[in-house]
Amino acid sequence: MVSVGDAIRLRQAGLRVTAARLAIMQTVRGGDHLDVEAIHRGVCDRVGQVSLQAVYDSLNALQRGGLLRRIEPAGSPTRYEARVGDNHHHLVCRECGRVTDVDCAIGHAPCLEPVSNAGFVVDEADVIYWGICPDCHTVTAEVAGLD
């Protein structure tokens, strides 16, 4: 189902409204920090064949327009989310790569101030917490006989 709100947001960001862009926004919103391959599959399921390059191009445009957020955890594929504008952070599982949102440590952007800003005007802090998610922790404990 096409969201009229998504079409309005695209126009407000100065972007053309296309079926692929609408499908990308729906796919990202319906997923959980999806990588490009998963987004591409979701878009093709919604609108038929769309090239992977078109998805990359649209993701870049949507990210530049402030409609999607790109996150790039080290050693993990680039992922996208629809939660934008609130300076939240992420938890990443070292075992399975699962990514989960975590609210800002202090509550207002940038929520963390550097010791020295080197003359920069800081407007955002991007924090990634690393650990083991509950599912992987349970499996590890079972394998080790700790459970």
What residue numbers does the annotated binding site for Zn(2+) cover? 93, 96, 133, 136
Q: d(Cα 105, Cα 13) in Å, to the nearest integer?
A: 29
Sign of CA dihedral 58, 20, 25, 90: negative
Residues tagged in the binding site annotation: 93, 96, 133, 136
* Angle (deg, nearest 10), helices 36-47 and 52-64: 110
